[in-house]
Chains A and B, each alone.
Chain A
Amino acid sequence: MTTITLRDTALPRVAAPATFTGQDFRTATGGMIDRRRPLDFTFDGRRYSGFQGDTLASALLANGVRLVGRSFKYHRPRGILTAGSEEPNALVELRSGARREPNTRATVAELYEGLEASSQNRWPSLKYDALSVNALAAPVFAAGFYYKTFMWPAALWEKLYEPMIRRAAGLGRAAHAPDPDTYDKAFAFCDVLVIGAGPAGLAAALAAGRSGARVILVDEDHRMGGRLLADRREIAGRSGADWVADALAELESMPEVRILPRTTLFGVYDHGAYGAVERVGDHLAVPPAHAPRQRMWRITARQAILGAGAIERPHVFGGNDRPGVMLAGAVRTYLNRYGVLPGRNVAVFTSGDDGWRTVADVVAAGGQVAAVIDSRASVPADLRRAAEAAGAQVICDGYVTGTKGHLGLEAIEVVDTYGSRQTIACDCLAMANGWNPIVHLDSHLSRRPVWDEAIHAFVPGALPSGMVAVGAAGGAFTLASCLETGGRAGAEAASACGFAGAAPEIPKTDPESIAHTPLWRVPVSKGKAFVDFQNDVAASDVELAHREGFRAVELLKRYTTLGMATDQGKTSNLAGLGIMAELTGQPVASVGTTMFRPPFTPVAIGAFAGHHRGKDFRATRHVPSHAWCEEQGAVFVETGLWLRPAYFPQAGENDWLETVNREVNTVRAHVGVCDVTTLGKIDIQGQDALALIERVCANPFGTLPVGKARYAVLLREDGFVLDDGTIARLGESHFVMTASTANAGKVMQHLEFCHQWLWPELDVQMVSVSEQWAQYAVAGPRARDTLLGIVDPGFDLSNEAFPFLACADVTVGGGIPARLFRISFSGELAYELAVPAAYGDAAWRAVMAAGSAHGITAYGSEALSVMRIEKGHAAGAEINGQTTARDIGLGGMLAKKKDYIGRLMKERPALVDPERPILVGFRPVDRSQRLRAGARFLAIGAAPSLAADEGTMTSVAYSPSLGHWIGLGLIRRGPERHGTRVRAYDPVRDGDIEVEICSPVFVDPKEEKLRV
């Protein structure tokens, strides 16, 4: 846990420029920066210096850098508006190369030694940005202008207009190289989650923590305390910062409390699930070795207390975007927390008492206040007097109507209650137009905030159970009410979790007043008055949207892009709504608000993915023979999660085809072994096991004797084939079923469904044993000879004693239990030998050893596939969820006298249509030609069209047994057309050849090799 000390705080004092650091706007003392630890950094290649504890924004301001970026559409110069994560303007590219992070808010980027930042969305430089000519065309670039033009000629859109727009749009440049850092994932469970460590959150965490509840306290800032770090406040006669330090010390002493600074709670999900991202290494140049850059927390909480605070609102007037115009609360943050006074000559524009705090703080720090403009007619006299005593001009019932300055603020234009105008020189304007509770998180579960007329802001509506908003986030703006609502909620949340919590006594705080009369826009201003700074949405755009009928809040947002920038409108939404309310003559409450979506602030995609990238994107399943296969230099292929050996190249073989041909020829002439462990294996036991099998399989099983296996076909309830496999009866009430590799999980789930939900009365249990048994196909004329070498003596493997489709429990290698099935996918004399998985590697090596005298080869999935195509067995390409049993040639085996899954629906007219494509074999008329799966069949001479389409080639292979390519495919009335020719049309690979329809069984059609 991070230890946080706040002892180095003192009242900031402006002194003579501190030339020794170059930080001309740094106060001589004060702030929570560590002045003993200077840090060098660069911005746009220029070197600057700041202190440990600075953000990039505070360090830039300390150095007098006001121009930080260019806006999205008009490329207007922009500076730093806020001191927090709501910043719309001061976005920079942080770091470089593969670590470049575009659109990074300078206001939350912690300064570190060597930090590298660049401005973005400008060319050739920040000061001289060519596209700032856009500003001249601003009258044209009104909201939605692009919907009305760029339509002629149509062909120019992709070629000219769109590339132009795309290049101009966007902000920073993404890193193109793979992200070199890692991301971690963590899961946590707690009783009480406290979001935000300002006064309300700390009070809540203290109350809950003292009860013994498991508490997690998160805050996005690197330093906890919220506004208590930014404002000069008193709690119980001590400074707010001291109270914070004490609270954190107490919380750290509690074993059940976890404190997570630098952690943004970005999303609220169902059933008490919360997403948070912890910036573990972002405050360093490079994360330390073995540490992640960020950690994604999934927190499950029984109770959540939202104490995320509030965001201050800017004023909307002409030129309100000029660098130097800032939020009044941010000015206090920079002054009190960072020891930076952002202007030599500060003006304050306020619509409430809160703005006067900024006046007082600037004055107290020895700074100069040029003017205070309060839009209200009546302002408490004591506030006025203090400002006037400090030499500030005070204008009540007046407005700031415009700003002047080249790349930064030089003066403001002001109008007073009598309409007289004046220009007042200043280099910093602090705006105070009230605060909006952060209702984003409470909205994530589709709860809309409601309007509170008392504080002129949206506050949380009805929250889901187990969630409560406290302090400013809940609309309680005074410090006293923050402490009170927080403490009470903490105690209540703990007691809801069964802990005896008592609301703490509320310490006495210094007096405060929060009177405020919101001003949605300055009525008499000139020039572009920005509502959404980042997306360059001005008040005039809201008017245009109103004029064109885009009055619903969602339409306003989408038409003007208000609130759609990277800040999700944190500083802008309400002004837009307020202006729309004025235009439509209805209260803001009726205009409503748009829905805030997660994440609260943008979250790195890498953090969501965690370690699931590269090879670790998904688990890799290895077959039991994997080590041996690797030793042999096998080529592997991804099959779902499995990595299967595809073929085993040997020295002197030139390509995969030569290898596969050798493997097939060896199996057909001698013997081969293939790892078929990937098949699903389901052990089914119980006196009703057979009854269940009868209902899930479409072919009959009633006559299957113990010691025999049978091919099984399963349908879905809609009548199409689900999967095929084999079922072996090992005992009266004991069966083992195999499923295809791809469908292993699905079949298991299906069987459990049939048993648990459809026929719960059946006395049967099943378990997947796919992982428990290694299974090897041993195939070829010498398969029996090979097996004799490893099956223990005493088991009679003769054709008479152990005929085709026999199965039995055997032992191998001197007493190791095993199962032997005489089943064949290759059409050869073949067995599948199953051994407990732990013996898989040894058994494989034993088979290879036993077969060496008989010329054994290992064969992979390619040879397996060639041989199944030679035998006309349907597999994944044919059993693709769109085919019936009849389509793939299995219609004859379906049971007539029992009910089973899919029985009725398979009889639907379209499923028994004689025109359906049915499985047959294909060979090229010119035997030297290659076949390709995916080719479509056309009648010879027919023009290609959908109507002429007769079916598809589904599987192809080069048959070394026949010396040419062969294929399986589905074609209309296939079985009736053996010997006829069609076109195999494959335009995507420039293929167009004649093929001949034939039986799908290419090798040993009489099955003589199978039963020897």
Chain B
Amino acid sequence: MRYSLLSVLGQALRGQRDWKPQWRDAAPKAEYDAVIVGGGGHGLATAYYLAKEHGITNVAVLEKSHVGSGNVGRNTTIVRSNYGLAGNIPFYERSMKLWEGLEQDINYNAMVSQRGVLNLYHSDAQRDAYARRGNAMRMAGIDAELLDREGVRGIVPFIDFDNARFPVKGGLLQRRGGTVRHDAVAWGYARAASDRGVDIVQNCAVTGIRRENGRVVGVETSRGFIRARKVALSVAGSTSLLASMADLRLPIESHVLQAFVSEGVKPFIDTVMTFGAGHFYVSQSDKGGLVFGGDIDGYNSYAQRGNLATIEDVMEGGMALWPGLGRLRLLRHWGGIMDMSMDGSPIIDRTPIDGLYLNAGWCYGGFKATPAAGFCFAHLIARDTSHEDAAAYRLGRFATGHLIDEKGMGAQPNLH
């Protein structure tokens, strides 16, 4: 049933009786043209665009748990395309444009809210670095504004401009940035892909990648062997584990990133704001909770939880910037497992094994990339060549030196 005000009102009168499962809970077939491992946002988006853009519908998305059980449902929901390096800029702008048309495209309200993303700066050097980034964005046709102190005051008058340890001097603003209701992205893509014939197979863990003569022929799963000409990995956090099934070692470490939500309060801040002198960023969900986060804990981890030192670090940043937060209460904190890559940027590429495709290394930026990652990964799987917007995301770049290192931190994943 198509979603609309009319169908919602109609079902209100009929006791919501006629709604159907939003996606088919498919049982796996013996064989597919392509199998996508990972039923998160990226995997589901990939399936959707394979069907929509390339007409490939004999596709299964294999999910070890349930749809959206990974990072798509654990992140802080921020979308933006305010990157500074040529390898990243067109990709994230592709993603932003897809966000802007997503809901009409997939007939699902994911609450794309372009409320602006504001990065604060606290020194001349930081201002110039933001100018450098903002100028690159503008050259690519992306909106970016460098605000002075008064400009920032107009948006977030309640922060501590003067007394903080690191006074706020201004900010870089991308008005088109904002937030999206994260779970809805997974559900919306699942529904749209399922409608186009994709099999979404839940509770199906991949346990092996079968190869013959150096070519992938399918995957072993907890629900039996599934034959496929093409196998595409989209399992952020667990990428190395899946890759090791094909004897691949990757430039990736798994790290935990914590996220936080406060109790719900009436509208308090209507932009996304990042502190430039501490690890703290914040926005407010439509339900009223402040959603915030900071830096990764910093050690390899597959445990979806973090530790107190990082939590305190984040709260200290919050209180330094915004002392009015003090009496607001933290409701929940949790952790997600990130693919931290060696240059802080993702990989969308073929692998040395024929028929095995890789979408990985998203660090903590995978959510905002969801539509474009699906779009470009589908292109790669369908055509065996990189989409031009993701052309820099090659696996071989670490050997050639074509790194995309926005922070200049080098080959140490926990610093990106």
Interface residues of A (CB under 8 A from B): 72, 98-103, 137, 139-140, 142, 145-152, 154, 157-158, 162-163, 165-167, 169-179, 181, 183, 267, 269-270, 273, 275, 298, 444-446, 540, 543-544, 547-550, 552, 554-555, 558-559, 561, 565-566, 568, 595, 597-599, 602-606, 608-610, 612-618, 620, 637-639, 716-720, 722, 876-877, 880-882, 905, 908-911, 932-936, 944-946, 948-949, 952, 954, 985-989
Contacts and interface: CB of A to CB of B under 8 A. Distances in A.
A901 to B, nearest CB: 11
A439 to B, nearest CB: 16
A55 to B, nearest CB: 18
Contacts of A163: 267
Interface string B84-117: 0010011000000000110110011111111100
B411 interface: yes
Given A446-B305, A638-B123, A935-B135, 6 more contacts: A154-B103, A171-B263, A174-B265, A597-B334, A882-B408, A934-B133
Contact of A605 (B5, B111, B140, B329): B329
A157 B286 contact: no
Contacts, number: 357
7 smallest CB-CB distances across A and B, nearest first, come from: A881-B408, A179-B326, A170-B288, A934-B131, A606-B326, A908-B401, A549-B21
Interface in B320-363: 320, 323-334
Nearest to B268: A174
Contacts of B132: 933-934, 936, 952
18 contacts: A146-B111, A147-B108, A151-B109, A154-B101, A162-B113, A166-B270, A169-B264, A549-B21, A568-B332, A599-B331, A609-B312, A617-B317, A618-B278, A638-B123, A716-B410, A720-B408, A908-B399, A934-B128
Interface stretch (B52-60, B181-189, B236-244): B181-189
B111 A157 contact: yes
A163 B139 CA distance: 32
B325 to A, nearest CB: 5
A934 B23 contact: no
Nearest to B334: A597
A184 to B, nearest CB: 13
Contact of B331 (A167, A548, A602, A905): A602
Interface stretch (B12-20, B219-227, B365-373): B12-20
Given A175-B327, A911-B401, A988 B16 contact: no
B307 interface: yes
Nearest to B314: A608
Interface in B17-64: 17, 19-23, 25
A25 to B, nearest CB: 30
B16 A540 contact: yes
A158 B111 CA distance: 9
Nearest to A643: B165
B248 interface: no
Contact of B263 (A179, A183, A602): A602
B65 interface: yes
Contacts of B408: 720, 880-882
B411 A717 contact: yes
A100 B327 contact: yes
A985 B131 CA distance: 11
Given A154-B103, A445-B305, A554-B66, A612 B319 contact: yes
B12 A881 contact: no
A566 B331 contact: yes
Contact of A298 (B139, B144, B267, B308): B308
B215 interface: no
B326 A935 contact: no
Contacts of B131: 932-935, 986, 988-989
Contact of A179 (B181, B286, B323): B323
B209 to A, nearest CB: 26
Given A549-B22, A910-B403, A175 B304 contact: no
A446 B400 contact: no
Contacts of A446: 303-305
B187 A147 contact: yes
B267 A986 contact: no
A883 to B, nearest CB: 8
A162 B179 CA distance: 12
B1 to A, nearest CB: 9
Contacts of A946: 86, 89-90, 136, 139-140
Contact of B107 (A151, A273, A620): A151
Contacts of A612: 312, 316, 319-320
Nearest to A641: B165
Contacts of A908: 399-401
Contacts of A618: 165-166, 278, 320
B187 A171 contact: no
Interface in B230-285: 262-268, 270, 277-278, 284
A614 to B, nearest CB: 5
A447 to B, nearest CB: 11
B267 A158 contact: no
Interface in B365-387: none
B155 interface: no
Contacts of B111: 146, 157, 162
A608 B139 contact: no
A151 B112 CA distance: 10
Contacts of A103: 263-265, 329
Contact of A606 (B130, B166, B325, B400): B325
Contact of A609 (B9, B15, B308, B319): B319
A176 B112 CA distance: 27
A166 B288 CA distance: 7
B327 A101 contact: yes
A945 B327 contact: no
Given A170-B288, A273-B308, A606-B319, A150 B109 contact: yes
A940 to B, nearest CB: 15
Given A548-B21, A905-B401, A946-B139, A175 B324 contact: yes
A909 B113 CA distance: 42
B217 interface: no
B73 interface: yes
B8 A145 contact: yes
B8 A605 contact: no
A597 B20 contact: no
B195 interface: no
Given A174-B327, A881-B407, A944-B139, A566 B263 contact: yes
A177 B327 CA distance: 10
A157 B103 CA distance: 11
B158 A176 contact: yes
A608 B265 contact: no
A948 to B, nearest CB: 7
A283 to B, nearest CB: 15
Contacts of A561: 287
Interface string B67-81: 111000100000000
Given A157-B112, A549-B25, A988 B134 contact: yes
With most chain A CB atoms within 10 A of its CB, the pick from B17, B110, B401 is B401
Contacts of A158: 113-115
A985 B135 contact: yes
Contacts of A987: 134-135, 138-139
A543 B13 CA distance: 16
B332 A598 contact: yes
Given A173-B266, A273-B307, A946-B89, A638 B165 contact: yes
Contacts of B213: none
Contacts of A603: 329-330
Contacts of A606: 319, 325-327
A154 B110 CA distance: 11
Given A158-B115, A605-B328, A597 B333 contact: yes
B405 A934 contact: no
Nearest to B140: A946
With most chain A CB atoms within 10 A of its CB, the pick from B86, B181, B308 is B308
Contacts of A719: 401
